């Protein structure tokens, strides 16, 4: 799950967090023309859900900031699954490159 963190903010309420600018792929993201901030990572999450895990759609909400990605909700399992998907690209330059290429091919625009 690294570099993401899943915390229980209140009983039965969870937040999945990623401090923007702390991943091993940040340099690659910038090289490919994007700013690896919280809004970019929201786009990563949305693209991963839509292409790899459509069953997660609608099971949590997003609330990013420039310096932090945040997804939240009551469905801990859904957030854990999102964390697994995101960690795979946050820790692997080849996977991140493939995801950005997929976004370009499909006309998906990151909000960065």
pLDDT of residue 112: 80
Does any domain span residue 55?
yes
- 34: phi then psi, degrees, rounded to nearest 5: -125, 160
pLDDT of residue 111: 85
Structural domain total, the chain: 1
H/E element, 87: helix 76-90
Chain Cα centroid distance, residue 57: 13
Does any domain span residue 97?
no
Tens of pLDDT, residue by residue over 1-53, are 899 999 999 999 999 999 999 999 999 999 999 999 999 999 999 999 999 99
Does residue 60 contact residue 71 with C-beta atoms inside 8 Å? yes
Record the pTM.
0.95
Does residue 16 contact residue 9 with C-beta atoms inside 8 Å? no
Tens of pLDDT, residue by residue over 51-85, are 999 999 999 999 999 999 999 999 999 999 999 99
Does residue 48 contact residue 82 with C-beta atoms inside 8 Å? yes
Does any domain span residue 88?
yes
Does any domain span residue 34?
yes
């Amino acid at each position: 799950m690294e570099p993401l963190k899943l915390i229980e903010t209140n009983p039965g309420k969870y937040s999945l967090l990623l401090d923007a600018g702390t991943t091993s792929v940040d340099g690659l993201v910038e090289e490919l023309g994007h700013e690896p901030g919280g809004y970019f990572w929201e786009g990563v999450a949305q693209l991963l859900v839509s292409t790899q895990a459509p069953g997660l759609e609608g099971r949590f909400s997003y609330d990013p900031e420039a310096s932090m990605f945040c997804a939240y909700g009551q469905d801990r399992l859904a957030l854990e699954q999102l964390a697994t998907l995101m960690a795979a690209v946050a820790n692997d330059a080849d996977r991140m490159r493939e995801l950005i290429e997929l976004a370009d091919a499909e006309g998906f625009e990151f909000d960065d």
